[in-house]
Amino acid sequence: MKQRVFAWLLVLMLMLTPMLAVAEGDETEPPASSEPSTEPSTEPDPTTPPATTPPATTPPATTPPATTPPATTPPATTPPATPEPADEPAEPLKIDTYWKYPGMDKSYAGGYMPVQKDNAVQFIMPLLGKTQGKTIRVVPELPSDGPFAPSNLQFDVREQTYDVTQGQNKTGKMSAYLIKFNAPLKSGYYNGTYTVMLRVTYKTPAGEQTEQTLPVQVQITGGKTPSTGGGGGGMSAVRKPVILVQSCTITPNEVSGGERATVKITMNNVGNYDAKNIRVALIPETDAIALTGDLNAKFFDALAVKGELDAEFAMRIAPGATEGPALMTVQIAYEDRYGGAYTDEGKYAISVTQPKVEIVGCEYNEVVNGGDGFTVTLTLQNSGTRDAKNVVVQYAAEDDTIRYKGIQDHQSIGDLKKGESTTVTFDLRALPSAAEGKHTFRFSCLYGDAKNGGSYENGVDYPLTVVQQASLGYDEVRLPESIVSGESFTLPVCVYNTGFSQIFNIRCSLNCDGLICSSAFLGNLAPQESADKTMTVFVTTKSGTEKYGEAYGMVEISYEDVNGEKHSDSQSVKMTIAEPQKITDEEKVKQEKEQKEQQTLSQWWISLLVAIAVIIILIAVILIARFARMMRMK
């Protein structure tokens, strides 16, 4: 090896000798040419004065800075944070116009007026609605120039349940805030119609402070009569026409869908002046009522003091109207003799009688396993005031994994008389693929009115919890058939969540004689997900007297379900642990010799590469020197 390296160095030196001789000797002159040189002479002409270069008047061309504006990253247009969906505005408290409460001779719809008795006026107003704490604060605001004695009334009213009535036979219970107080009259009060404002403050269910002002009109009698000529008497606030609804008669007061009714409104002028240009309008507050005339208003030229007028309206109840009271507003607009405008209104109700088939009971198992069936038993009742016909119970679910076991998803019951009840059963099933967790299914009642053919529907949603069994699959774990003791190998593990329930704390462990391996933790898996891990296994020797040969063991995969219950699966494995080869002394000497020769060869190659690099650098220096000398001679 050394001889080869010296030979290569000698060859390189012989190749470089001519180059070194040329570089060290004089350069030979180039042969003279008979043709004039086309190259411009670089020597200055002694007969020509040197040209003076005038100073440059043009400023040196300076490369202007790039005019392209720097790329500006537009400010991050992070969309504004989506506001939390605001709570829907709380419904204001409403006057219960339909029911008659204790102490009232009429409902508000029937024309209730505060009662004057024993030199005082009793006010009653039932309010419906939801508040925080179920308490309201009431502050009556009495007119300062009215008939009431000065007082500072304010009190709290709690929501309570009262026995209420409507008409002759209809009774019930209502939870309401029943405002009830007495306002004493002062001596020498004047007769007339006065307005008392009830200021009600409370907190909505969301905690927002709210205030409402509700007017109540009261007609005062038994006092002085206001004079019309001035000088001693009465208040200008009551010197006007005042038209009040004396009565609102609905015939019949209970009607079914598709039937007709007549509304007769009787009005009185209880003021001090005649009224003119009177307009009486009937305004339904629900689509259940439709007026049959061309106009919803009646017009009258005048109404004298203490005079009376009647206005009649014809209406028809929609066939699909809902059972219960249907509200309407009577609005009166009129003028006095000087052109002053006034309005008054009141709310009234007509009782709509319909069949009302509803689900009043439902029995079923609310927790089922995926793939299991369950039975739902429904109790239906016609709580309306009419017989129902063609009653059908319809099933529906939010998804198709909760299915009805059968060809049809509905059952026909036939007719159901008022007050009558019946039961019906449905067989349902949660599919094996049903997602674990909460589900909802719905049953609806569809039926008609036996009298007028109207159709109705109402339904109820029911919750269902689906529980899925944990299921884990994995690839078969295979050990090498044979491996030498003292070596190591890698073992891939891949698991799959083959069920529809999440799996937690998945762990794989290898227990085999002669193998050392730590367990692999694969974490949690959602349904239909997979995970893999690689385990490193070190091979030692078998326990006992026999150190080598076939070794047997077990691969175990454990996990937990959503309820924390532990599960496991196992697989048998085997492999052969081979004895390491013994090396003789001659083989060791030979290996050491080969290792040294390899090391020496590597060192000589490094020396050769260094020498070549030095020679290349010398050649480059010589060539650069020669080129520089040629340029000077030119």
Q: What is the third-level CATH fold of 94-232?
A: Immunoglobulin-like (2.60.40)
Q: What is the third-level CATH fold of 240-353?
A: Immunoglobulin-like (2.60.40)
Give yes or no for residue 90 having a pLDDT over 70: no
pLDDT number for residue 77: 40
**Residue 632 three-state SS:** helix
Number of other CB atoms surrounding residue 169 within 10 Å = 6
Longest dimension (CA), the chain: 152
Cα distances from 205 to residues 202, 345, 363, in angstroms, run 10, 30, 32
Give yes or no for residue 82 having a pLDDT over 50: no
**How would you label 574-590 residue by residue, b for 16+ Cβ within 10 Å and e otherwise?**
ebebeeeeeeeeeeeee
When the pLDDT of each residue in the chain is averaged and rounded to a whole number, the result is: 81
Indicate the pTM of the whole model: 0.45
pLDDT digits (tens, 9 = 90+) for 465-493: 998 888 899 999 989 999 999 899 999 99
For residue 399 the two structure tokens come to: 């998804």
SS (H, E, C) 413-441: EEEECCCCEEEEEEEEEECCCCCCEEEEE
Q: Where are the beta strands (DSSP E) in 206-356?
A: 209-220, 243-251, 254-256, 260-269, 275-284, 289-291, 297-303, 308-317, 324-335, 341-353
Highest mean pLDDT of the ranges 191-200, 349-358, 505-514: 505-514
Give yes or no for residue 181 having a pLDDT over 70: yes
φ/ψ of 78, rounded to 5, equals -65, 120
Asked if 418 contacts 355 with a C-beta cutoff of 8 angstroms, the reply is: yes
pLDDT digits (tens, 9 = 90+) for 574-603: 999 998 877 667 777 777 787 877 777 777
pLDDT number for residue 58: 39
**How would you label 477-510 residue by residue, b for 16+ Cβ within 10 Å and e otherwise?**
bebeeebebeeeeebebbbbbebbbbbeebbbbb
Give yes or no for residue 229 having a pLDDT over 80: no
**Residue 257 three-state SS:** coil
Q: Where are the alpha helices (DSSP H) in 423-515?
A: none
pLDDT number for residue 64: 39
Distance CA 391, CA 597 (A): 103
Q: Is the peptide bond before 252 cis (omega within 30 degrees of 0)?
A: yes
| Amino acid in position 196 | V
pLDDT number for residue 570: 93
What percent of the chain has a predicted confidence (pLDDT) above 90? Answer: 38
pLDDT number for residue 12: 54
pLDDT number for residue 15: 58
What percent of the chain has a predicted confidence (pLDDT) above 70? Answer: 82
Q: Using the structure block, give the residue that is written with the tokens 């490193």.
A: 536
Instruction: Write the CATH number of the domain with boundaries 472-578.
Output: 2.60.40.10
Q: Which CATH architecture has domain 358-467?
A: Sandwich (2.60)
φ/ψ of 526, rounded to 5, equals -80, 165
pLDDT number for residue 8: 58
Section 29-38 average pLDDT: 39
| Amino acid in position 230 | G
Rounded to 5°, angle at Cα 396 from 394 and 398: 165
Closest CA to 183 of 211, 214, 216: 216
pLDDT digits (tens, 9 = 90+) for 361-404: 999 999 999 889 999 999 999 988 888 899 999 999 888 899 98
Number of other CB atoms surrounding residue 170 within 10 Å = 13
The CB-side HSE value for 20 (13 A sphere, CA atoms) comes to 8
- Per-residue confidence band for 39, with pLDDT thresholds at 50, 70 and 90: very low
- Residue 472: CB partners within 8 Å, gap ≥ 6? 495, 496, 497, 498, 499, 503, 506, 525, 557, 559, 567, 569
- Per-residue confidence band for 7, with pLDDT thresholds at 50, 70 and 90: low
Closest CA to 25 of 622, 621, 617, 616: 622
Give the start-to-end residue ranges of the domains of the chain.
94-232, 240-353, 358-467, 472-578
pLDDT digits (tens, 9 = 90+) for 434-470: 888 899 999 999 998 866 667 788 899 999 999 888 8
Is 240-353 the same fold as 94-232?
A: yes
